[in-house]
Structure 1
Amino acid sequence: MSASDTMAIRMTGVVKTFGAVVANRDAFLDVAKGEIHALVGENGAGKSTLMRVLAGMYAPDAGAVLVDGRDVTGWKTQDAIAAGVGMVHQHFMLVPTLTVAENVILGMEPRKGMQVDLHRAVIEVESLCKKCGLHVDAKAKVADLSVGEAQRVEILKALYRGAKILILDEPTAVLSPPEVRDLWTVLRALKADGGTVVLITHKLDEVIAVSDSITVMRGGMTMSRFATEGTTPRDIARAMVGRDVQLHLDAQGDADSWVAPASVESSAAPVLRVTNVSVMSDRGTRAVNELSFEIRPGEILGIAGVEGNGQTELLEAIAGLRHVQSGRVQLASHDFGTRSVRERADLGLSHIPEDRHRRGLILDYSIAENLILGRQHHFGSFGALDTARIDTNAAEQVQRFDIRPAMPSLPARALSGGNQQKIVIAREMGREFSVLLAAQPTRGVDVGAIEFIHAQLRAARDAGKGILLVSADLPEVLALSDRIAVMYGGRFVTVLPAAQCTAEQLGPYMTGAAV
């Protein structure tokens, strides 16, 4: 049997450019049939572009693409779907107002005469759910689903169209640990059924846990390919970045680069005080329930918990993006009351939102413009912007936060998800602030960037800033925090010194078992 007979995917010499930006240069990828293959690399390494070439979204400028031994170079998306190649994107492409079944069948609707047969659609989707182990209510509206359930719908869409090669771009970025475990079960079942999976992820523990082989990209090029067995996260990180990277966890889950936090001066006045605050969710239920806490200068208060327990609503209320139903929020001596987002920022509040597309960026604005978003009044006068100052600020922040490509005139849309996240972090941490709300600050960024962001957060704390950290990555919360609060059902069910916490100790609180 020839090598081509055993390869589901073979890409050789792929080049893809967008104007002056070279996304792929001489990239190659070999994925065997019936394996789970991890595609890793720094932000902007060209991973997503290479997969979009495979999925027919982009035509390569040079190189060849073979699927199941057939040359498909330059094919279209519909060709890829017809051939059984499906891609689940990092940012979901669902219609919120439609049901699960309606989203899954969109474009391939079963018909009864001239009408769409919705009854049959529900039966087909329910059958597919059962077969694949993807549990979701086929009749539920997508707008009412959790993030994990929405991702299952995206996978169901691909499988409904007959996907035998499934590409997943950062699939666990917004999933809770139980949802991640469910996803691994699904991927292993697909593999057992003869399917092939390409997994793009920055989480090296996931690479080790679920993949059979690994391809590493850097600077648009393929650097290496190796078997997962016998490989460590450090090996992968070194191949990705080109140097040793100080991971915040080793493979056993022990703190590896944890730095003991500076002692917090207990007599210092709080920089942030939240008193009996209640906040409503978008569904009209109480998401935050009479919550009170304080953060002092030089302290990181980490919030652990399964997503959906009020963390999002709490940070949005403090930031001024959501109405506080009752209670009080104070920044030092300032009562926020009905102060606007801009007024809160001018008083020293910075906010890294959890959803960079919805809350953090205007994708069609340039990098330079996004770096002053919400602060335009500091970069001009009498309604006119000072372009020289904007350009100087952009050049400084692009260099300091290693935003790639280093072209401030590019629209944010042209950047990888991780580099988009760097724009938000640069804007919020590259200015004067006294309190930082950091929601999922390292979501979707590579190991080198995580190392840098962690260092920035620690430096801000050591400079006397107060930081409220929310992260679905429990090891990150454990590594960075001075105190850890576990949020469940809109309340803090326990608050403990981080030095006394372990993941095993916090787990029962996060699931409500210890409440």
Structure 2
Amino acid sequence: MHMAEPVIQLKNITKQFPGVLANDDISLEIKKGEVFAIVGENGAGKSTLMKIMYGLYKPTSGDVYIKGEKVQNFKPKTAIDKGIGMVHQHFMLVPSFTIAQNVVLGREIKKNGIFINEKEAIESTKRISEEYGLKVDPKIPVELVSVGVQQRVEILKTLYRGADILILDEPTAVLTPQETEELFVVIRKLVKEMGKTIIIITHKLNEVLAISDRVAVMRAGRLIGVNKTEEVDERILSEMMVGKEVLFDQLSKEDSQGERLIKVEDLKARDKRGFMALNGVSFEVRAGEVLGVAGIEGNGQTELIEAISGMIPVESGNIEILNINTTKLNPYEIRKVGVSHIAEDRMHTGLNTKATIMDNILMGSQHSETFAKKGIHLKQNVVRAFSKKLIQKFDIRTASENVKVENLSGGNMQKVVIAREFSFDSKVLLISQPTRGVDIGAIEFIHEEIIKKRNEGCGIILVSAELDEIFRLSDRIITMYDGKITGEFAAGEIDKSEVGYYMTGNRGRKVNHDEEIKY
């Protein structure tokens, strides 16, 4: 039976980086015409393994066979020549080029040896997009289309180069539920009708169950097992990933809504490029409430948190926190009003990676009477004991409080930020992407801590690209599109697919895909 023919065989693959064994003696076979998922927490070694298949890394030891031939020369050109295409998590497109120019990039048809034959590029793109059911308009510049369409362009690019094995790295990380569904339709068509083989790297288990034929689970560089997808469920997979039972139980939320803590009126602010990122945003948050902000990245959610926390200037409108007008205050003054901020970009704004865990935990409290005599001389033993207590409480995996933050994993860095921000007794918490790049065990812990704060009567604004997280934690949800609020719902009033319509600016109107979509 032709299904069983392996198109990729990995035999005893080991990849050693300085101080890290990224892949530890991995052997597996991927068959022609299947959707093969690879799951694992961050740092499990999934991406390293893919990069070996795609020729970006050479294994320290072990062999790779593509379509029965042993790979001698590890570089992407070898992989592409053998029919492997890779769609990276961060797209490799030229924004100012049209879709057609991006599709043929590097394989352009030249006219008289100089000019790119634009007409030919458009024709090729049209032909291939119709053949594979990936609808695009070849003449539109990439910078004007949605992320979902950009991903289609990436897939078309690999198909144009003749790929019959596609590696998709975290393909749904930036997509709405609708776009994810559309991607899955395309994947099924590519496999069932076109006989392609698709490898998906992801950490979203519900999607693995929805789309794959077989699933491999990795943990700490090792292959834990390969199963037929129909024989596993989310619980089995997450236990394999984490190495212990993970119970995403209902979080116990107490009814405790009290007085208004945050009031935002007609807020307008510009992003770093000078574009209007917030265009008349108004809402309130009460004590004991989590307000979830859902939106596709780049629609003003980041700037909303930055404006409230004083990191970017407000052009017009008003912000009141704990009945104090904070519109014109700087981040330090806003913090003193009683605001904690978990920034989206932990590497640049949340942490000083060159400093120790202890120094990072102290940031913002170094002048308080608790930790410093007369606000100047640090009480070293008090600071050390406090750091140790938080390291234990927040399960930060480290040898000691004196380890530099840059030596921690992404998940542990995030725990340092959360430990610090939650240790201030702030009534208001601004939380952006709290579990990005964090493993399943830590996600559960962080969610519990957020709900604890809510139950203590804090007012919380939560921005997250993970809809599951928004639905799990929020009491109310607002959707944002293009700097405006497009919808507001109590948590139980709406489901994920409906939220997707509001996130694309349709205000609940389902798009008829035959209509022309205005970009």
Q: How far did 1:476 drift?
A: 2.7
2:226 aligns to what?
225
Q: Relative to structure 1, is the Cα distance of residues 514 and 142 closer, same or farther in structure 2, using a 3 angstrom cutoff? A: closer
Alpha-carbon distance between aligned partners in 1 of 2:393 and 2:26, rounded to the nearest angstrom: 28
Instruction: Specify which of 252, 268, 274 is matched with residue 264 of structure 2.
Output: 274
Q: Relative to structure 1, is the Cα distance of residues 29 and 351 closer, same or farther in structure 2, using a 3 angstrom cutoff? A: farther
Does residue 315 (structure 1) correspond to residue 319 (structure 2)? The answer is no
* Post-superposition CA distance 1:209-265 (Å, at most 9, x none): 000000011110001111011321111111111222123xxxxxxxxx222422234
Within 5 Å, give how 1:84-483 maps onto structure 2.
84-119=83-118, 120-192=120-192, 193-247=194-248, 257-266=249-258, 268=259, 270-280=260-270, 288-304=278-294, 310-341=300-331, 343-345=333-335, 347-354=337-344, 368=356, 372=360, 375=363, 378=366, 409=404, 411=406, 429=422, 433-483=426-476
1:253 aligns to what?
none
| Structure 1 SS opposite 2:42 | coil
Name the TM-score, length of structure 1 as normaliser. Answer: 0.82
Q: How far did 1:391 drift?
A: 10
Alpha-carbon distance between aligned partners in 1 of 2:222 and 2:52, rounded to the nearest angstrom: 14
Q: How far did 1:207 drift?
A: 0.5
Alpha-carbon distance between aligned partners in 1 of 2:55 and 2:282, rounded to the nearest angstrom: 51
Native 8 Å contact 1:102 1:118 kept in 2:
no
Alpha-carbon distance between aligned partners in 1 of 2:240 and 2:219, rounded to the nearest angstrom: 8
Give unmatched runs, 5+ long, in structure 1.
Answer: 248-256
| Structure 2 SS opposite 1:181 | helix
Q: How far did 1:40 drift?
A: 0.7
Query: Which one-letter code corresponds to 1:277 in the other structure?
Result: L
Q: Relative to structure 1, is the Cα distance of residues 222 and 288 closer, same or farther in structure 2, using a 3 angstrom cutoff? A: same
2:513 aligns to what?
none
| Structure 2 SS opposite 1:179 | helix
* Post-superposition CA distance 1:14-68 (Å, at most 9, x none): 1112111111111223211111111011221111111111111111111111111
Native 8 Å contact 1:301 1:469 kept in 2:
yes
1:21 aligns to what?
20
Q: Relative to structure 1, is the Cα distance of residues 420 and 278 closer, same or farther in structure 2, using a 3 angstrom cutoff? A: same
Q: Relative to structure 1, is the Cα distance of residues 369 and 376 closer, same or farther in structure 2, using a 3 angstrom cutoff? A: farther
Q: How far did 1:490 drift?
A: 4.8
Alpha-carbon distance between aligned partners in 2 of 1:33 and 1:388, rounded to the nearest angstrom: 62
| Structure 1 stretch displaced more, 298-307 or 215-224 | 298-307
Q: Relative to structure 1, is the Cα distance of residues 158 and 341 closer, same or farther in structure 2, using a 3 angstrom cutoff? A: farther
| Structure 1 SS opposite 2:130 | helix
1:72 aligns to what?
71
Q: How far did 1:371 drift?
A: 8.6
Query: Which one-letter code corresponds to 1:161 in the other structure?
Result: R
Alpha-carbon distance between aligned partners in 2 of 1:358 and 1:162, rounded to the nearest angstrom: 40
| Structure 1 stretch displaced more, 118-127 or 202-211 | 118-127
| Structure 2 SS opposite 1:328 | strand
| Structure 1 stretch displaced more, 441-450 or 279-288 | 279-288
Q: How far did 1:85 drift?
A: 1.6
Native 8 Å contact 2:176 2:500 kept in 1:
no
Give unmatched runs, 5+ long, in structure 2.
Answer: 373-377, 511-519
Query: Which one-letter code corresponds to 1:467 in the other structure?
Result: I
Q: How far did 1:170 drift?
A: 1.1
Alpha-carbon distance between aligned partners in 1 of 2:157 and 2:508, rounded to the nearest angstrom: 34
Alpha-carbon distance between aligned partners in 2 of 1:158 and 1:506, rounded to the nearest angstrom: 31
Alpha-carbon distance between aligned partners in 1 of 2:189 and 2:359, rounded to the nearest angstrom: 44
2:516 aligns to what?
none
Query: Which one-letter code corresponds to 1:449 in the other structure?
Result: A
Say how many residue pairs are matched: 499
| Structure 2 SS opposite 1:324 | coil
Alpha-carbon distance between aligned partners in 2 of 1:43 and 1:330, rounded to the nearest angstrom: 38
Percent of aligned pairs with the same residue? 43
* Post-superposition CA distance 1:270-325 (Å, at most 9, x none): 33221221345789775544332222333211234566654344334324444433
